[in-house]
Amino acid sequence: MISSQLLRPRALRPGDLVVIAALSGPLPAAYEGNVEQTRVVLERMGFRVRRSPLLQVGRRRWWSAATPAEIAAELNGLLRDPEVRAIVASDGGQTVFGYLDLIDVESVRADPKPILGYSDISLLHLVLHARTGLAGFHADMAVPGFGGHWPAAPAARRAELEQLYARVLTGTEPIGPLPASPSWECWRPGRVEGPLIGGLINRIALVQATPFAVPPERFDGAVLFWEEMGGQASYVWTYLQVLRHSGILDRIAGMVVGVPREITGLDAPGALAEIVLDVLGDRDIPVLGNVEIGHAGPNLPMPLGVRAALDAGRRTLSLLEPAVR
């Protein structure tokens, strides 16, 4: 069943329980400190924090924290547990495709909760948004996120982000302008408003080849945000071409592109902008580039389905609605 209505989670309150969960990749010993640092950040926001049982150092099956069935069972348990009020992914990885058919979507509809994460977790956001309308949070997670990128950021930026995340998770008023940085670039000017949708670009493209595809009309008038890590520049070009052939680029109103990370072939200044504009052709949509959404971190939270205002010429991005209720 596909939902066209936005499903906002209940706003978090002081003392609510947030669980850090292994939703995809394993936890290497080197990243144990990241999980503990995430606990510190979330507790400073006023929440209780615990770890899911699968989040154990050294536990793994191939490239995953456990089998897809085990991860799905744990996720479903968290979704059904009324005490759990939010779920933060420990890391991304390569596993979510393995359990899309095992998720208890009825529990999401019955008790929607904020789920935070990016990379492979963006696939979870896309599918749950398509099937239930859930406003999933393309946002930082434990590794590196809260536990790695945040401690490395300037103190003022950390404080700014901590206040922003607390407002997004607990506030029922529109957030307004997201805090910009000097890296933001106008690749094509213009101002539009529309619901946010996006994630890791390879997941956006690949999920469309499955029964869990996002309905094309969900992109109508949307602000598409995406990012990518690893691989080659030609891969990004190919994923964008998939979005063109599928008609998605003809439906969206605007585009926000994350800071690329570790992509071969993007060494020259302006290379990614050139690729994006080449594929867009004469589509007159505003494009804001080099925004902190994804692997370059620390991340700005991007709640799927929430209306946003994009003014690429002024290099601003604002959330016009609350992400929680």
- Which residues are identified as catalytic? 119, 227, 295
Structure tokens at 225: 């945000």
Structure tokens at 49: 């924090």
Q: Which helix (H) or strand (E) holds 196?
A: strand 191-200
Q: Between the CA atoms of 152, 156, 157 and 158, what dihedral angle is there, to the nearest 10 degrees? A: 60
Residue type, 225: F
List CB contacts of 224: < 8 A, sequence separation 6 or more. Answer: 197, 198, 248, 252, 254, 255, 256
CB-based contact 165:149 (threshold 8 Å):
no
DSSP 143: I
Backbone phi and psi for residue 80, each to the nearest 5 degrees, phi listed first: -85, -15
Structure tokens at 311: 């003014």
Structure tokens at 188: 């094509």
Answer whether the bond into residue 286 is a cis peptide, omega within 30°: no
CA distance 65 to 48: 23
Q: Which helix (H) or strand (E) holds 254?
A: strand 254-258
CB-based contact 175:164 (threshold 8 Å):
yes
Structure tokens at 162: 């901590």
Rounded alpha-carbon distances, angstroms, from residue 99 to 26, 65, 125, 221: 16, 13, 13, 30
